[in-house]
Amino acid sequence: MQLKLKNFKGIKDLTIDFNGKSTNIFGANATGKTTVFDAFKWVLFDKDSTDRKNFSIKTLDSNNNQLHFLEHEVEITLKINGTNIIFRKMLKEKWVKKRGQADQEYSGNETSYWIDDVPTAKKDYEDKISNIINENLFKLVTDALYFNNMKWQDKREILLKIANVSISDEDILRGSEELQLLLDKLEGRSIKDYQKVIEAKIKTLKDNISTIPVRIDEATMSLSDVSELENIDFEKLKEDKTKYQLEVEKIDNIFLDFQKKAAENNSLLNSLSTKKIELSTLQNKLENEQKTILSNKKISISNRINEIDNQIKQKQINIENFELSISNFENQRTELREKWNEINNKQFEEPASEFICPTCKQELPETQKEQKLAELKNNFIKQKESEIGNINLQGTKAKENQEKCETELNSTKEQLDTLQKELEILNKEFIQVNDDINSLQVANYKNNEDYIKLLNEVEQLEKQVANITSISADDKLKEQKSQAQAEIEKINSLFARKENIEKTQARILELEKQEEDLGQQMQNLEQQQYLIEKFTVTKVELVEKAINSKFKVARFKLFNTLINGSIEETCVTLINGVDFPDANHAAQILVGLDIIETLNNYYNISAPVFIDNSEAISSAYNINTQLIRLTVSNDTSLRVEQENNNEIEVQDVKQSYEY
């Protein structure tokens, strides 16, 4: 591996050839040791050694201001399966000069990428690296502290994958007579899902159980008036209630008689009112019937008059049109006769120009002249006969149309005469109906049988109403009924209190029984929960044993026992029994190398491992991979040493910090 830095985090120019060997990089603080690790991570994954995405790689001056117009570049050469691949990334500033401005203006940064010196798009660059190795896996096998800085859930997932424990849950359950009790309870569910079912049921039971004492207390508090009812003779109260009920019933019967009589009187009054309305309605009906008949007749005659009047007007228009058409046809026939005479009297005239040759302008020979003349006479006769024939046809058509119009005219005049006569009759009828309406007398309804019958009924009802006497209930009876009802209410109230007490006492017994049943259900569920926890402990112990067997130094705890005895999942790295965060830096690095070695063996890969602050590590860990140790020393510039057959070689490093 070779790493080249240019204008990267204060290093102007640096080249290190790692040559696939374990390498020690020495230097005082701020000489660029960690910068080497940052450059290694940035060129591959766009992050620094602490896995930060946003960090500054630009060079600063003595006043901590950025130096502009620099190209910040890292190039790394990796040997992948025996083949060297060069990855290069460069960050530079973009400066633009806007129209009308003398100076350039900073407008952001842009990053360029190359693979084997070929310019490459960012996506292709990242895809190439991703196809070589996954980013997270690369971090795991190049950083001794990365694994133990992960979330415990992610660490646990990796360890379980490495351990590849093949013991099934059913094998564990069948391996213990006590745990076999869970098999029938699972019903096809996993232990984890069944545990959720148990936890949900326990929570529901606890919630239900917690409410029962409160409900019992509330019910008990409502029994405070029990002593007040102990000395009451409820049998005697039943007899008293019956006596008061009979008294109320007797008074109600008296009131009922009053109500019946009042109802009869109201019915009589209603009947009288109804009959009067019927009488008035019949009277109006009889008066209006004759008016309606005459009015309908008047409307009918009026509509017919309007209809005939419209027909007469239309007939008159038709007569005018027919007369005009007859006149036009007569004129047309006159013109055709004159034209016929004109054509018939026309004589053939010999044209002189027709006998001159159009070519030589000489008079035609006599033979040709006679032939031409005969042809012209024949054409004249045919033309004359054709024109006379056309005139005859037109004259015949005009005569037929004229005769047809004369026939229609005579028929229309006859229809008009008929309509005018009918109109005259209707006008007389209209005047008569109108006179009848104006002189109409009110119908003599007093002779109508229905009217006479209703009138007699009204007179009889009026006589009965006149004999009605006023009826009202006795106030003394009302007071007696009110007193009896009050006594009944008092007795009912006492019986209701007694019934509520009995129901409350029964409810308390029911709640106490329910509390006992829920407690038994809770005990059964807790027993199953205990078996699940025991199963979990058994399984985790097997898993922990399988996982820890994969490591030389590192040990892992995958579950915690809580105060209540239940088990919760976790993942804690142990170093000689000490939690990883509490161990010293050297122990953490050694355990990290142990984890990396196991990961390398599992994923069958090997990558350089960076160890920062390696001066704190006194003991060595034998790992079959390339180590790059970053060690604090008194060197004012980076010093690179490589191990070669147990000998130390000092590399001449190209390095520059000055600008």
**pLDDT tens for each residue of 133-170:** 888 888 898 888 899 999 999 998 898 888 876 677 77
Beta strand residue intervals within 66-219, DSSP E: 71-80, 83-96, 105-115, 118-120
Domains observed in the chain: 1-21+29-133+650-659 (3.40.50.300), 234-453 (no CATH)
Report the C-alpha gap between 359 and 268 in whole angstroms. 133
Q: Give me the sign of the Cα torsion angle 595, 601, 605, 607.
A: positive
Report the C-alpha gap between 8 and 3 in whole angstroms. 12
- β-pairing, 647-651 vs 83-96, is unpaired
Compute CA distances 437 → 292, 301, 429, 430, 562, whole Å.
10, 14, 12, 11, 113
- In the chain, DSSP finds a helix count (H) and a strand count (E) of 13, 15
Q: Which range has the worst mean pLDDT, 540-544, 550-554, 564-568?
A: 564-568
**Do the Cβ atoms of 107 and 96 come closer than 8 Å?**
yes
Identify the pLDDT of residue 469: 64
pLDDT over 90 at 73, yes or no: yes
Compute CA distances 233 → 223, 224, 484, 502, 655, whole Å.
19, 19, 19, 16, 114
pLDDT over 50 at 35, yes or no: yes
pLDDT over 70 at 450, yes or no: yes
Report the C-alpha gap between 249 and 372 in whole angstroms. 144
The two structure tokens encoding residue 5:
């830095």
The two structure tokens encoding residue 652:
């001449």
pLDDT over 80 at 608, yes or no: yes
3-class SS of residue 376: helix
From the CB of residue 190, how many other CB atoms can be counted at a distance below 10 Å?
10
Alpha carbon 458 to its chain centroid, in Å, reads 74
**Do the Cβ atoms of 114 and 87 come closer than 8 Å?**
yes
pLDDT winner (highest mean) among 262-266, 352-356, 600-604 = 600-604
From the CB of residue 146, how many other CB atoms can be counted at a distance below 10 Å?
20
DSSP designation for 616:
G
Identify the pLDDT of residue 5: 94
Report the C-alpha gap between 393 and 387 in whole angstroms. 10
DSSP designation for 68:
P
Predicted confidence band of residue 119 (pLDDT cuts 50, 70, 90): very high
- The values of phi and psi at residue 623, to 5°, are -130, 135
Predicted confidence band of residue 222 (pLDDT cuts 50, 70, 90): low
Q: Encode pLDDT of 389-411 as tens digits.
A: 999 999 899 899 989 999 999 99
Identify the pLDDT of residue 647: 62
**Of 242 and 287, more confident:** 242
- β-pairing, 118-120 vs 71-80, is unpaired
Tell me the one-letter amino acid at 106.
Y
Question: What is the chain's length?
Answer: 659
Q: Encode pLDDT of 315-368 as tens digits.
A: 999 999 999 999 999 999 999 899 999 888 888 777 766 667 667 767 767 777
Q: What is the DSSP string of 468-524?
A: -------HHHHHHHHHHHHHHHHHHHHHHHHHHHHHHHHHHHHHHHHHHHHHHHHHH
Identify the pLDDT of residue 472: 57
Report the C-alpha gap between 442 and 292 in whole angstroms. 12
3-class SS of residue 424: helix
Report the C-alpha gap between 36 and 655 in whole angstroms. 12
Q: Give CA torsion, residues 74, 79, 84, 86, to 10 deg.
A: -20
Q: Which range has the worst mean pLDDT, 504-513, 524-533, 646-655?
A: 646-655
pLDDT winner (highest mean) among 227-241, 243-257, 301-315, 636-650 = 301-315
Report the C-alpha gap between 255 and 481 in whole angstroms. 11
* Closest CA relative to residue 505, chosen from 222, 247, 137: 222
The two structure tokens encoding residue 355:
């006998």
**Of 191 and 577, more confident:** 577
Report the C-alpha gap between 604 and 461 in whole angstroms. 121
Q: What is the DSSP string of 18-45?
A: -TTS-EEEEE-TTSSHHHHHHHHHHHHH
- Residue in the structure block whose two tokens are 């019903």: 187
* Closest CA relative to residue 653, chosen from 645, 644, 636, 641: 641
The two structure tokens encoding residue 16:
């290190």
Identify the pLDDT of residue 574: 93
Identify the pLDDT of residue 649: 64
Report the C-alpha gap between 547 and 556 in whole angstroms. 8
In percent, the amount of the chain with pLDDT more than 70 equals: 91
**Do the Cβ atoms of 630 and 610 come closer than 8 Å?**
yes
Q: Encode pLDDT of 44-57 as tens digits.
A: 999 888 888 888 88
pLDDT over 50 at 100, yes or no: yes
From the CB of residue 94, how many other CB atoms can be counted at a distance below 10 Å?
11
**Do the Cβ atoms of 556 and 546 come closer than 8 Å?**
no
Report the C-alpha gap between 373 and 366 in whole angstroms. 10
Predicted confidence band of residue 656 (pLDDT cuts 50, 70, 90): low
* Long-range own/partner contacts, residues 463-472 (CB < 8 A, 24 or more apart): 464/268, 465/268, 465/269, 465/272, 468/265, 468/268, 468/269, 471/258, 471/261, 471/262, 471/265, 472/258
Helix, strand, coil: what percent of the chain each, to 5?
Answer: 60, 15, 25
**Do the Cβ atoms of 538 and 172 come closer than 8 Å?**
yes
Report the C-alpha gap between 280 and 292 in whole angstroms. 18
The two structure tokens encoding residue 495:
């019986």
Q: What is the pTM of this model?
A: 0.48
3-class SS of residue 318: helix
Predicted confidence band of residue 498 (pLDDT cuts 50, 70, 90): confident
**Do the Cβ atoms of 16 and 2 come closer than 8 Å?**
yes
Predicted confidence band of residue 442 (pLDDT cuts 50, 70, 90): very low
